[in-house]
Amino acid sequence: MDEVFRALADPTRRSLLDELYRQDGQTLTALEERLPMSRFGVMKHLKVLEEAHLVTTKKRGREKLHFLNPVPIRLVYDRWVSKYAEPWAATLTGLKHQLEDG
Amino acid sequence: MEKMFEIYIKTTPERLWEAITDSEMRQKYSFGVGIRSDWKEGSSYEAVHPGAGIRISEGKNLEVDPPRRLVQSFTALWSDEVQSEGASRVTWDIEPVGDSCRLTVTHDELREGANNELYGGWPMILSGLKTLLETGELLTTPGSLRYSGGEAFGQVEARS
């Protein structure tokens, strides 16, 4: 999980994730055009995101497409919410359940 | 539109395949939804919530290659909105990596700007699948038990 926190600690990398959230499956060239950064800079940040599995890639012909992988963020949430916030969160989901069932 | 979801799970391809295709196991990490099929290529499947008795999705098994690859067409049925999106496609790819498996779920053939309810549940489902296979336990964080019915809530209370 260290890689995930490290990858998310950088605002440029977060903006890359936001860009993929807006439009998934982009090439390096497309991402480079969207961000005020050199091709090398985008490549470097994408590599960190890929190592943290926050970005997953797929080849299509000659192109390499980049996809936002939200799963590690969910794992962080499940790991930390369950440890620190479960008592109140469970109460809230229990209450919601009760109210919805009448 | 295409969406990809990737997760590493410490398990064997065979156990992972079983967790994906066994209805009882599937209910434990997939919002309480089970799945019925004979798992033959070309045959159909149906995902049903046994507690609520409603059909969640249906489709065909386009490719069945245990324990490596499963391709299914997917039509969501849980509301009129999602049903109107029509059929999309879900591919499960299992690749052994060391003592773990890399599982990739690709949800494609989605309409551009498709309702995110169609694919928004995957991170939680995969997180729950990882928890189940690695610890044998159910994921109990908020949201993961949504729609799973009273039985799952009872299990949480019994454990805590």
Q: Average pLDDT of A70-94?
A: 77
Does residue B4 register a pLDDT over 80? yes
pTM of this structure? 0.84
Peptide bond connecting B67 to the previous residue in cis, omega within 30 degrees of 0 = yes
Q: Do B7 and A70 touch (CB under 8 A)?
A: no
Structure confidence at residue B29 (pLDDT): 92
Residue B41: is its pLDDT beyond 60?
A: yes
Domain ranges of chain A: 2-101
| Chain B residues whose C-beta sits inside 8 Å of any chain A C-beta | 1-8, 104, 106, 122-124, 126-127, 130-131, 139-146, 150, 153, 156, 160
Contacts B122 to A, Cβ<8 Å: 71
A1 Cβ under 8 Å from any chain B Cβ: no
A56 touches chain B (CB under 8 A): yes
CB contact (8 A) between residue A90 and residue B160: yes
Strand pairing class (B44-49; B54-65): antiparallel
- What is the Cα gyration radius of chain B? 15
CB contact, 8 Å: A43 with chain B? no
pLDDT bucket at B146, cuts 50 / 70 / 90 = low
pLDDT, position A95? 74
Domain extents for chain B? 3-154
Contact between B122 and B104 under an 8 Å Cβ cutoff? The reply is no
Smallest Cβ–Cβ distance between A56 and the set B6, B143, B150 belongs to B6
pLDDT at A98: 74
Q: Evaluate whether the domain defined by B3-154 bears CATH number 3.30.530.20.
A: yes
pLDDT at B152: 39
Q: Do the chains contact at A89 and B145, CB–CB below 8 Å? A: no
Sequence-distant (≥ 6) Cβ neighbours of residue B72 within 8 angstroms: B45, B59, B60, B61, B62, B89, B90, B91
The fraction of chain B above a pLDDT of 90, given in percent, is 79
Identify the CATH class of A2-101.
Answer: mainly alpha
A74 at the B interface (CB within 8 A)?
A: yes
What pLDDT does B159 receive? Answer: 38
